[in-house]
Amino acid sequence: MTPRSRTAVAEWTHSATPLASWYTESLGDAIGDRLFMFDNSGTPSLELLRFRPEFGGASGFEDALRERVGALQGFDHPAFSQVRAVERLDSGDLVLVSTVTPGKRASEIFRSGPGRPGVHPAFAAWFIRESVSAIAALQQQAGDIAHAALTPDRVILAPSGRLVVVEHVLGAALDRLRLTVRGLQDLGLAVPGDANTPARLDQQADVIQLAFIALSLLLGRRITPSEYPWRIGTLLDEFAGANHGSPPALISAMLLLPNSGHA
């Protein structure tokens, strides 16, 4: 990151003193890579999601992102990270700037490798309850607002015991890309529809993506979006068969995954 970019960060944090800053790389994905920025301003540390050039330079992507950030400017909820700005670095890369949320990403649960047992059903029930409540609050802001990019990388388990969703302003920008269902699956996102049809990044997509995360946690491995919907029935049967002691209400809830053939 160049000195000029550091000056820009000083403006985002309203720092009036000379800024000494440093950054470390964080977990990236197919949409972009992430950087943690720390400085001596005494303000909260920042996380930068640096979009891949083909996204950041796509027609309408930046405008849609800025519009969604503006639309949610007054949305203050403890289950969501604080979005600070949309900026361009000296390199020309587009970045989404958010306050760092301490904790572990849900994806870290899968890092122990194959064969890891799924999480305890009580944890899964807590995850479903907290995440559904959070996303419902987001969707209530307007009928066309959805996260649309929910993955285990965008859900953080905070030290306080809270669940925090990050990068919740991506939906409109991703929708502007006009990708097919297969195109979004290649980005790691589960969406309804046939592979070669235009994707629907609506509130239903949030429900499907949350269910994907929950089922992945229960099975102890990350389910790929290409497994939706054709393998969902098999995966649900695997979960139900391996968890005879699970609360019936939890199994019933998982069997309601949209278009699974079990509803």
Domain boundaries, the chain: 3-99, 104-254
The pLDDT of residue 261? 36
207, pLDDT greater than 90? yes
Q: Are 158 and 19 in contact (CB under 8 A)?
A: no
Q: Whole-model pTM? A: 0.83
CA distance 236 to 27: 29
116, pLDDT greater than 90? no
131: pLDDT confidence band, cut at 50, 70 and 90? Answer: very high
> What is residue 121's three-state secondary structure?
helix
Classified by CATH at the fold level, domain 3-99 comes out as Phosphorylase Kinase; domain 1 (3.30.200)
pLDDT digits (tens, 9 = 90+) for 42-76: 667 899 999 999 999 999 999 999 999 999 999 99
- The CATH code belonging to domain 104-254 is 1.10.510
Mean confidence (pLDDT) of the chain: 84
Region 192-199: mean pLDDT is 91
The pLDDT of residue 40? 61
Q: Are 71 and 171 in contact (CB under 8 A)?
A: no
Region 9-14: mean pLDDT is 50
106, pLDDT greater than 90? yes
254, pLDDT greater than 50? no
CA distance 102 to 121: 25
The pLDDT of residue 263? 32
The pLDDT of residue 22? 60
pLDDT digits (tens, 9 = 90+) for 143-161: 999 999 999 999 999 999 9
The pLDDT of residue 16? 52
